[in-house]
Amino acid sequence: MATAVKSDIKLEPSPNPFEVAQQQLDEAAELLELDSAIHHLLRWPMRELHVTLPVRMDDGSTKIYHGFRVQYNDARGPTKGGIRFHPDETIDTVRALAAWMTWKTAVVDIPLGGAKGGVICNPKELSDGELERLSRAYIRQVGRILGLKKDIPAPDVYTTPQIMAWMADEYAFMKGHNEFGVITGKPLALGGSAGRGDATARGGLYCLREAGKLLDIKLDGATTAIQGYGNAGSFAHKLGVELLGLTVVAVSDSRGGIYNKGGLEYDAVFAHKQKTGSVVEFPGSEPITNEALLELDVTISIPAALESVITERNANKISAKFLVELANGPTTPEADKILYEAGCYVIPDFLCNAGGVTVSYFEMVQNSYNYYWTEQLVHERLDEKMTSAFHVVHDTAQEHKVHNRLAAYLVAVSKVAEAVKLRGWVS
């Protein structure tokens, strides 16, 4: 077991996420022998909106924020994608996420395209009132391109069901009537779906379960490290123990990480984070950096934070048998090759974390006919979708002798390309 000490690696600038997304697409397009016009079309968003948001602060001043909404491709249906509130948000990050959403909806075969939104802000520094006014301001500007048959937002990094509720209310005010299905990830009282809260982590763990079966690796008691302890990471801890019997030895958040070779108990860690705002200084644990956490000698590594944390710089130091990508874009193309050659089984992001958009789609369906499913039924239908998609990707990887991310691209891009061609967008 690697020691839980601080890494002395000097961090290099992160790769441009949209360039990474384009590079991944290019590799798939070459293998698919994709028509050059379709290839070029799929390399770029079909439309994007940049907005400027004046927000009245609690002290009476007005602060100006900037935001985006990117609708990447709607060949297979209305676009779908979350909204991020993050201080380091960029248009290229949003473009990349919208592209990955396009492939995500295709790989799990739901009739939607891909979109993403974001606002450059630090929600941790905002009061509830300021956060509400910012959320409503964003919808007032972006709402003109949203709609059940256009584009349906959802929560993402640092946005919550409460923020979705404010946005849904603002949209209803703009339209003059309720239209709850236009925003998903809402509270249950406003048409949210049972099972949406843990859907991203649950879907990824369904994939891990299937991977364990295929590789004949026992997951009960398997040591696990989780980078990122937001919605996806914390639920991965909880459900990993409940569903698969994992032993989680390390977790982290934006302030740092904690490590205990004997395992970390979910309820205690979660309560500590709720009380202090971070997992750091959890009693009975050793400190560990986010970088060192990824290099621990564990069976399962779960990046559940942000993009480009696994690169050619550190990929050869990752010893995990499974990389379960709950984050979007955590691994660069150069790192993919290193991990594949080392025998690490990667469950790629836009397959692994597709549980969130799948249950968001279920929420849209329930909103459309105003009848709601039980949590058990949501879990069963999510399991069916994720398990089917996992095996299609795995079989494609075996058939073409490529790593799983490229296989997922082959599956998804071929579906979107077929829709583009059938619609006559490219002759």
Annotated catalytic residues are 116
Contact between 207 and 393 (Cβ < 8 Å): no
Rounded Cα distance, 209 and 204, in Å: 9
Rounded Cα distance, 117 and 100, in Å: 13
DSSP string, 80-120: EEEEEEETT--HHHHHHHHHHHHHHHHHTT-S-EEEEEEEE
Q: How many CB atoms lie within 10 A of CB 268?
A: 12
Half-sphere exposure (Cβ direction) of 182: Cα atoms closer than 13 Å = 23
Rounded Cα distance, 185 and 353, in Å: 15
Rounded Cα distance, 156 and 184, in Å: 11
Q: Which residues pair with 153 in a beta bridge?
A: 81
**Which strands form 151-155's sheet, in the order they lie side by side?**
47-56, 62-73, 113-120, 79-86, 151-155
40-44: Cβ within 8 A, 24+ apart: 41/420, 41/425, 41/426, 42/73, 42/413, 42/416, 42/417, 42/420
Quick check: helix, strand or coil at residue 41?
helix
Contact between 373 and 194 (Cβ < 8 Å): yes
Please name which of 373, 426, 421, 417 lies closest in space to residue 103, comparing C-alpha atoms.
Answer: 417
Please name which of 200, 202, 254, 249 lies closest in space to residue 226, comparing C-alpha atoms.
Answer: 249
Contact between 214 and 241 (Cβ < 8 Å): no
